[in-house]
Amino acid sequence: MAQTSHTAELGDFELTLVRDSVYWWDGGAMFGVVPKTLWSRKIPADDQNRIPMGFNCYVIRTGEHTILIDTGGGDKMDARARERAKLPPVPETLPVAIQRHGIDPESVDIVINSHLHWDHCNGNTVLTPAGAVPAFPRARYFASRGEWEHAHERHPRDSVAYIDANYDPLIESGHMTLVEDGFEVAPGVKMLRARGHNRDMMVVTAESRGRTFCFLSDLAPTAAHLQPTWIPGFDLYPLDSIDSKMHWLARAVEEDWLCGFAHDTQIAFTKIAADPKVKFVAAE
Ligand SMILES: [Zn+2]
């Protein structure tokens, strides 16, 4: 079922949603070809057509590791960009947000980036006069190699989504490892490619005692995007987004997975249910 509580248990693992603030983004861009008359019933827009989006990060405590999935919007946006997104002028840092949930940020020893768009990895590093340094110095960082290569292609369509200070300094200092599809970052925790939003975005699955959590990332940024054809205008490969959703969400239903979204502001954890009309919904 859908739950708003920020913590959940999964076998031996403890899961925590850390919402690194809420930003407001163009609703039309988030729903692509879906008419506003339909999407605005799910997420109402403000007078500038913006809808609220969480920078959702998840912490998995396995007993052995403290794993952070995605690092949110960070502090690299300038004042104008922050104002446009209705963000407070001075951000709360992610380590402080993690601390607020009763988790010692120093204990984070693994950081996973589902992909390298700024809204998923801006909190990886902190800018100092000496350059970008890791925000989680004890952690090993993991990201998809194909995604990093794409970031450096600087394609005009999406180059604006990439900020090299979020990953290149970490690769140079040996903090970040670039990985392939299926990489197991810790026992039971895997990064799995789900093409669509872009070529190499990863969902993250965590399995303990036969139960599975899946961070869907931008495969379904909010519960409203579970319907396979409701695809953000940002997605580079919308037909693949549909195929990927059919594949991953069918598994989530069959295997009774608990799921988390990258940007939903209401739901922290939810099971997915099959629906005769729209195929998949957040379970009631
Ligand atoms: Zn995103």
Cα 217 to averaged position of ligand 1 atoms, centre (Å) = 7
Q: Are 215 and 69 in contact (CB under 8 A)?
A: yes
pLDDT tens for residues 49-104?
999 999 999 999 999 999 999 999 988 888 898 999 999 888 889 999 999 999 99
pLDDT tens for residues 121-138?
999 999 999 999 999 999
Cα 267 to averaged position of ligand 1 atoms, centre (Å) = 16
pLDDT tens for residues 29-39?
999 999 999 99
Cα 120 to averaged position of ligand 1 atoms, centre (Å) = 6
pLDDT above 70: residue 1: no
- Half-sphere CA count of 74, side-chain side, radius 13 A: 23
**pTM of the predicted model over 0.95:** yes
Cα 175 to averaged position of ligand 1 atoms, centre (Å) = 23
Cα 207 to averaged position of ligand 1 atoms, centre (Å) = 23
Phi-psi region of 148 (alpha: psi -120 to 50; beta: other; left: phi over 0): alpha
pLDDT tens for residues 170-224?
999 999 999 999 999 999 999 999 999 999 999 999 999 999 999 999 999 999 9
Cα 119 to averaged position of ligand 1 atoms, centre (Å) = 6
Strands 176-179 and 110-112: unpaired
Cα 114 to averaged position of ligand 1 atoms, centre (Å) = 9
- Give the CA dihedral 134, 139, 145, 148, nearest 10 degrees: -20
Cα 64 to averaged position of ligand 1 atoms, centre (Å) = 28
Residue 283, phi then psi, degrees to nearest 5:
-65, 140
